[in-house]
Chain A
Amino acid sequence: MRIIALIMITGGGLLASTRPAGGQEVDSDVNIPMPREIVTTIPAVSGLFATPVITQELAIQGVLVEAEVGTLNEAAARVELGDFMTSLLIKAGLITVEPQPIRVATFGEQSEEGARPAWTGRTPMALSMSRTRRSGAVRGR
């Protein structure tokens, strides 16, 4: 595995060092099959399936245990299994996503996070709606 990676890194380094790159060096009558496709296809898959497949099955087995004792929740699953696997388990009905309550905070009431007033402007009729999700509260007027 490391040898293969080493060969690839070395090969790429040699390619980069021996011939300087430059997209405009070509004649105008040539349209080139680009290395662009390499750039657009590889990271897409790598980013999505960053977890090696070996952990997939182990993760599912772990999920089985947690589901049986009723301790599985979405947030923990996303940390442990990654987003894709978690979504798969939600789709399979193994993780129930509880709807996030939408709370309307009125004037003078403090928001859940940061203890800031929901409204600070001049119009007393302004409302702030906060919805707690992964990244925190979403607030708008």
Chain B
Amino acid sequence: MRISLWAALALAGHFFIPVAGHAQQVPEWLMSLKLPNAAAKSIMTPSGWGAAYGSIYLGAGAAERTPYLPSADGIVGIGYGMGDPVLTAGLQIGTTVSDLSEFDNVSFSFKVHRYLTKGTSIAFGAESLFSRDRLADDAGDTFYLVASHILQSFGSSGSGIGRVHVSAGVGTGRFAEKSERDFSEGKGRDGTMAFGNVAVGVARDVNVIVEWSGTNLITGMSTTIHARKIPIALSIGLADLTGYSGDGVRVVGAAAVALAF
């Protein structure tokens, strides 16, 4: 009797308990895949990652001093990311206001980015487009191509500590040209066109960054804190570490917030 009861229960379970319709195996490469952490990967150079999926961002940056001048400089920017960089392509568009007092020097930027595979992403973009006064605040229209990769052999898979993010690219504009003042100071007119950055995770969502901007060396650190799931990125760095351009080391910093819809 007891045996037949168990048999009936087993039969009922067979019919009524949902069975995996199409069980799938998560690939090993996906289980061990290392993706970028939430902190910024660079201070002043682009990376192959970009905003997407209908997210907006708002940021502000400041430099403690302008090259060859004692005055500080600041900028605010807002942008929007759309598309899907994994399945198709992501598009990030943004605008920046560099004259905070008059609000009359506005420029635009865009970046088309695509995630390729195993922690690699590429991007093509432009910045400082349509700025009113080329000599007032930037190197004019700048176009670039950049590839970023997360070294899969380094770093903790859980906390992100030790994760190594590398980017390399080439560009025109600010990556290729020094300022007129640099030229008059005998530092030449041309930058390297090539730029790159390395960011290593030293704590959860904290990166230490070293980068070459095409005209000088920059180092700094960045972290992203999450306030009610809203990421707030904070970065601080030292720019112009070499005598290749500019007139000495400057402190730069920025804060930004991103919202997804």
Q: Is the CB of A15 within 8 A of B81?
A: no
Q: Is the CB of A93 within 8 A of B24?
A: yes
Check B192 for interface membership: any CB of A closer than 8 A. no
Give the distance in Å from the alpha carbon of A86 to the alpha carbon of B128 in the complex. 33
Check A27 for interface membership: any CB of B closer than 8 A. yes
Nearest CB in chain B to that of A96: its residue: B22
A49 → chain B closest CB, angstroms: 5
In-complex Cβ contact of A38 among B43, B90, B226 (8 A):
B43
Question: Which of A1, A20, A40, A67 has the most chain B CB atoms inside 10 A of its CB?
Answer: A40
Give the distance in Å from the alpha carbon of A29 to the alpha carbon of B229 in the complex. 44
Q: Is the CB of A9 within 8 A of B137?
A: no
Contact status of A23 and B57, CB under 8 A, knowing A9-B234, A30-B67, A39-B254: no
Q: Is the CB of A60 within 8 A of B26?
A: yes
Check A108 for interface membership: any CB of B closer than 8 A. no
Check A64 for interface membership: any CB of B closer than 8 A. yes
Nearest CB in chain B to that of A43: its residue: B57
Q: Which of B204-252 contact A (CB under 8 A)?
A: 204-206, 213, 215-216, 221-226, 229, 231-236, 239-240, 245-246, 251-252
Nearest CB in chain A to that of B246: its residue: A33
Give the distance in Å from the alpha carbon of A94 to the alpha carbon of B96 in the complex. 40
Q: Is the CB of B23 within 8 A of A24?
A: no
Check B135 for interface membership: any CB of A closer than 8 A. yes
Digit string of B129-141 for contact with A (CB within 8 Å is 1, else 0)?
0000011111110
Interface footprint category on A: 35 or more
* Residues on A with beta carbons closer than 8 Å to the beta carbon of B246: 33
A109 → chain B closest CB, angstroms: 31
Q: Is the CB of A52 within 8 A of B71?
A: no
Q: Is the CB of B67 within 8 A of A57?
A: no
Q: How many A-B residue pairs have CB under 8 A?
A: 353
Check B9 for interface membership: any CB of A closer than 8 A. no
Q: Which of A5-35 contact B (CB under 8 A)?
A: 5, 8-9, 11-12, 15-16, 18-35
Give the distance in Å from the alpha carbon of A43 to the alpha carbon of B52 in the complex. 11
Check A48 for interface membership: any CB of B closer than 8 A. yes
* Residues on B with beta carbons closer than 8 Å to the beta carbon of A30: 66-69, 135, 179-181
Check A115 for interface membership: any CB of B closer than 8 A. no
* Residues on A with beta carbons closer than 8 Å to the beta carbon of B252: 35, 38
* Residues on B with beta carbons closer than 8 Å to the beta carbon of A20: 72
Q: Is the CB of B67 within 8 A of A52?
A: no
Nearest CB in chain B to that of A5: its residue: B225
* Residues on A with beta carbons closer than 8 Å to the beta carbon of B73: 21-23, 25-26, 32, 34-35
* Residues on B with beta carbons closer than 8 Å to the beta carbon of A41: 40-47
10 additional contacts (CB under 8 A) given A41-B47, A93-B24: A1-B223, A22-B72, A30-B69, A33-B67, A33-B174, A43-B258, A45-B49, A49-B36, A53-B160, A94-B24
Residues on B lying within 8 angstroms of A by beta carbon are: 18, 20-24, 26-27, 30-31, 33-47, 49-53, 55-69, 71-77, 79, 81, 84-87, 90, 92, 94, 96, 98-102, 105, 107, 109, 111, 115, 127-128, 134-140, 157-160, 163, 174, 177, 179-181, 184, 203-206, 213, 215-216, 221-226, 229, 231-236, 239-240, 245-246, 251-260
